[in-house]
Amino acid sequence: MALSLKLSTKEKIGLGLGIAIALLALFDRVVIGPLNTKFHQVNQEIKLAELDLCRDLRSLDEKEAITKEFQDYAKYVKQMGSDEEEMARFLREVENLAHKSSVNLLDVKPQMPQSKDLQKQFTVEVEAEGDMPAIIMFLYQLNTSDCLLRSEKITLKLIQKEKSLLRASILVTKIVIS
C-alpha cells in the first residue's frame, strides 16, 4: 500500500492497465493457447475421420454390386473337388457341347493338369467329325462356354468332299483359378 500512495492517479491507471494486460497475456499463454492448439488438432482428426467415413460409405454403396459380380465369377475361383472330378466335369461339358452342335466325338484324350501360379489348366485332345457348320458351332460353343474352355489348337482334314465332312483335332483347355 505504501507504493500505491506515492503514485498519481494516471500512474495508478497505467499500472492497473499494465497488470491487466500482463494477466491477459499470461492467461492467453497458459489457458487459451493450449485449448486453441487442442481445438485445431481435434478439427484435423475430425476432417480425417470424415474422409475415411466418406470412403467407407462409398465402399458400402458399392458392396452390393461387388458381391453380385463376385458371385458371377465365384464358380471360376475354386476347384469343385479333386483333379479327377474336375476332369470328369470338363469331359462331360465337352461331350455335351459336341452333342448340341451335332459333332461326333471319335477320340478324347485327357492329359495331366498343369499348375501355374494360382491357376490349374486341364487339357483334352479331342478328335471330332462333322460337317463344317457343325464343327464351327462346336468351336464357338467351346470358346463361349461358362466353364472357361478354350480351343487352343485346331487341325482340320477333309474326309468326304461331296458331303463336306471334316475331321477335326482340337486341343481344348479349361482353366480353374484357385
65-92 tens-digit pLDDT = 888 887 777 766 666 678 888 888 889 9
What pLDDT sits at residue 77?
63
For residue 78, the 8-state DSSP code is S
* pLDDT at 72 (0 to 100): 76
What pTM, to 2 d.p., does this model score?
Answer: 0.58
- 28 closest CA partner among 36, 17, 18: 36
Query: Is 126:170 a contact under the CB 8 Å cutoff?
Result: yes
Q: What is the per-residue pLDDT across 86-132, written as a single tens digit (0 to 9) for each?
A: 888 889 999 999 999 999 999 999 998 888 877 888 899 999 999 98
